[in-house]
Amino acid sequence: MSKADVLFVNMCKDILENGYSSEGQIVRAKWEDGTPAHTIKRFGVVNRYNLQEEFPALTLRPTAIKSAFDELLWIWQRKSNRISDLNSHIWDEWADEQGTIGKAYGYQLGKKYKFAQGVMDQVDNVIWQLKNTPYSRRILTNIFNFDDLTEMNLEPCAYSMTFNVTGNKLNAVLNQRSQDILAANNWNVVQYSILVHMMAQVCGFEAGEFVHVIADAHIYDRHVPVIKELIERPQFPAPTFSLNPEIKDFYQFTVDDIKIEDYQKNPQIKNIPIAV
């Protein structure tokens, strides 16, 4: 069975059984009908995924892996904040009159800084360090830029990646300040697992462990029945994942360069309410 499913089920049960409810508090998020969107949360959730063992896609319901990868490329490879550069519409509600999400996500990764080895952006710095100083403990990105927060249409949720090489394996930690578990958990897990595979391939390593740290892991009140249904579903073995081995340049990857095989999964859950 998929180990990602087991982690997800255990996390959800822990939130539902031991979480803290925001009922009675003033909350920012609302449902489309204007009702406050309350949550049950757990603070400081840490999930570890061994990418040597499996690709951590849920089988409890399908994850749109190629769409998730396309968003990752939009942020990390294209370093774009323009929604027209994205092949889905998931960012449309945060777009301004210029069709951008402001100085958020890809914009931050595309900003150039003066590093010891020259002027470059954060992504190029990670690649340079992994190729030239792979055992450094300073290989990371951070897009929570306080100078630009007021010009971001959405402050970043997943904001920092720290890369660490152990032997011939590339490991990484994703720090996330907040996560809607039903809507985004496996989406982000899949995205950043692929990123570890990409960085490992172009820098001469094997993908090792991906660690996901969530400060505020929450389930919205109207999602509770969906989560309860989801975690009782049958579980299947994880799918097989591979990257096109011919790609050695990070900026040459496309959505067509990932292959997902034997992805057995339960049906999608439709008409999930979205808190905004």
The reply to whether 203 belongs to the active site is: no
Q: Which of 209, 211, 214 is nearest to 184 (CA)?
A: 214
Residue 265's H or E segment, with its range, is: none
Q: Is 275's pLDDT higher than 90? A: no
Tens-place pLDDT, residues 60-114: 999 999 999 999 999 999 999 999 999 999 999 999 999 999 999 999 999 999 9
Over the stretch 29-39, which tens digit does the pLDDT of each residue have? 999 999 999 99
Binding residues: 137-138, 177-180, 188, 218-220, 275
Of 29, 64, 90, 157, which is the active-site residue?
A: 157
- Give the count of beta carbons closer than 10 Å to the beta carbon of residue 97: 5
**Alpha-carbon distances of 154 from 31, 99, 143, 192, rounded to whole Å:** 18, 14, 12, 20
The average pLDDT across 155-181 equals 98
**Statement: residue 274 has pLDDT above 90:** no
- Which domains does the chain possess? 3-179+196-261 (3.30.572.10)
Tell me: the pLDDT tens digits for 38-54?
A: 999 999 999 999 999 99
